[in-house]
Amino acid sequence: MPPAVGISNQGEFFMSITTQIAKNGDWEKLSLFGPINEDAELHLPKLLQALGAKIIVNFKAVESVNSCGVRAWITFMRELEKGRSIIFEECTADIVGQINMIPNFRGKADVQSVYATYTCQHCGNHQQHLFVKGKNLPQTAGDGGGDVACGKCAKPTEMDEIEEEFFAWVES
């Protein structure tokens, strides 16, 4: 398997997925960096043996997901969820799209937090807004994300996605 080409650990540019596993109390945090593509098929299964019973998957630095990557991820999840508790956190809007379209992408994982992209109609600023379960995540999709002010000009912003579709997964 070729090594991932990366500029830094911040997830700016990777040719293939890289992962990092860190202890987080009782849990282990599996952080993903770069694209989830065909290389994930080789990389992900190798992680299974190293992972314990409680896993937090962090999607914050995932740049993109393609159809090969989705297939590899679903195969990985099927094995990962055997006997394990799984939490998804900091899902990007791309990942939320997959969760909404393909129930197996999430499997039995508990989705704790997701990023939505908002655009300010006044100054054009784009910003990420984190929704956290038990805090600001809506109870039903129809509730939507509520008002999110622009970080630059403080005017109201609009979500790039249709809110009711973006939050469809909260009811499943």
Chain positions contacting Zn ion, by CB under 5 A: 120, 122-123, 125, 150, 152-153
Question: Which is closer to Zn ion, CB of 11 or CB of 151?
Answer: 151
Task: Give the sign of the dihedral formed by CA 59, CA 61, CA 62, CA 64.
Answer: positive
Supply the minimum distance, in Å, between the C-beta of residue 94 and Zn ion.
24
Supply the minimum distance, in Å, between the C-beta of residue 159 and Zn ion.
14
Q: Which two tokens stand for residue 138?
A: 């809506």
* Whether the Cβ atoms of residue 122 and residue 150 lie closer than 8 Å to each other: yes
Supply the minimum distance, in Å, between the C-beta of residue 118 and Zn ion.
10
Give the DSSP H or E segment for 115. strand 113-120
Q: How far apart are the first and last CA of the chain?
A: 37
Question: Which is closer to Zn ion, CB of 6 or CB of 151?
Answer: 151
Q: Which two tokens stand for residue 139?
A: 């109870």
Q: Are strands 126-132 and 113-120 parallel, antiparallel or unpaired?
A: antiparallel
List the beta bridge partners of residue 87. Answer: 56, 110
Question: Which is closer to Zn ion, CB of 149 or CB of 170?
Answer: 149
Question: Which is closer to Zn ion, CB of 68 or CB of 148?
Answer: 148
Supply the minimum distance, in Å, between the C-beta of residue 121 and Zn ion.
8
Question: Which is closer to Zn ion, CB of 22 or CB of 123?
Answer: 123
How many other CB atoms are there within 10 angstroms of residue 131's CB atom?
A: 22
Supply the minimum distance, in Å, between the C-beta of residue 123 and Zn ion.
3
